Amino acid sequence: MPKLVQVAAFTAAVLAGLILWQRLAAGPAAAGNEALEAKVAELEAKVQVLDDTRQIERLQRVYGYYLDKKLWDEIIPLFTEDASVEIGGRGVYVGRTSVAHLFKDVMGGGKEGLEYGTLHNHMQLQGVVDVDPGGKTAKGRWRAFMQVAALNRTALWAEGPYEIEYAKLNGKWMFRKMRWYPTYYVPFDKGWDKLEAQRGGASMAVNKQYPPDLPPSGDARPFPEVSVPAFHYKNPITGK
C-alpha cells in the first residue's frame, strides 16, 4: 500500500479508536460525538478513493505489459461484458466478444503472443485518474508511446492519448469504455515530419473481415492534422 494511503488509513483508525474509548469511558453521553465521527467517515472516504486510484493505475499498467507481448487472453478479462473499445479510426467494438475480435483478430492477426522478430511495446504514461462520487465508476487519461516492428519488414513509431472509463464490479476495477486517439503512427525511418502520405496508417483502417459494431467516431485526426480529445477532468486551478 502506498505511503499516503497508509498514513490516511492509520489516521482514520486512530480517530475511530478515540471514539470507541470515549464511549466506553463516558457511557451514552459520549455517543454523540458527531464531529469526530464525521471526521473518521471523511478520512475513510479519502482512503477509499486513494486505494481505488491505486488499483486503477495498476490495472492500466498491467494492461500495457500484456499488450506489449500480445497476451490477448490476459487482456480480454480486464473488460466488462458491456465494454466498448475504439482504437484510432478502426471503429467501435461493443461487448466483450467484439472487443476480443478487435484485439486478437484485428490487431493480433488471430495469434496469441509475440512471434520471433516482432516488437509491440505500448508504454502507458502520464496517467490522470479521477474516481467518480460513489466509488463505482472512474475516468482516466493516459498516453501510449509505441514501438511496433516486424524484423526486416517494418518498424513504426506511434503515440497518442487514451480516454478511458472504468467500472468497479464485485470489488474489482475493470475497463468499460476505452478510446485511443493516434497523434502519429509513422514509419521509423521516415519519422513524423514526413507523414503527409501516412495519415495514421493501419490505426485508421476499418477491418473488413472483423468489422466494428459502430462506424469510426471521426474525431481521430493524426498528424499533420491537429485534434485535442476532450479532457474528462476540469482544470485544477480555474475549474473550467
Q: What is the pLDDT of residues 62-111, one digit of tens each?
A: 999 999 999 999 999 999 999 999 999 999 999 999 999 999 999 999 99
Residue 106: predicted pLDDT: 95
Q: How far is CA 233 from the centre of its chain?
A: 14
- β-bridge pairing 184-187 and 172-180: unpaired
pLDDT for the residue 188: 85
- 3-state SS of the chain: helix, strand, coil percent to 5? 40, 30, 35
Between 189 and 197, whose confidence is greater?
189
| CA distance to 4, 36, 144, per residue, from 17 (Å) | 20, 11, 45
Q: Measured at the alpha carbon of residue 67, what is the angle toward residues 81 and 122, in degrees to the nearest 5?
A: 125
Cell triple for 149: 516492428
Q: What is the pLDDT of residue 202?
A: 74
42 conformational bin, left if phi > 0, alpha if psi -120 to 50, beta if neither: alpha
Greater model confidence, 193 or 6: 193
CATH number of 70-204: 3.10.450.50
Model confidence, pTM: 0.85
| 93 conformational bin, left if phi > 0, alpha if psi -120 to 50, beta if neither | beta
pLDDT at 191: 76
Instruction: Band the pLDDT of 220: cuts 50, 70, 90.
Output: confident
**Domain map (residue ranges) of the chain:** 70-204
CA gap 50, 10 in Å, rounded:
13
- Each residue of 33-54: pLDDT tens digit? 777 777 778 888 888 999 999 9
Per-residue pLDDT at 172 exceeds 70: yes
Q: Please check the confidence at residue 59 and state whether its pLDDT lies above 70.
A: yes
CA-closest candidate to residue 127, choices 221, 48, 222, 58 = 58
Mean pLDDT estimate for the chain:
87
Is pLDDT of 30 > 90? no
Note the pLDDT of residue 37.
78
- Predicted confidence at residue 9, as pLDDT, reads 55
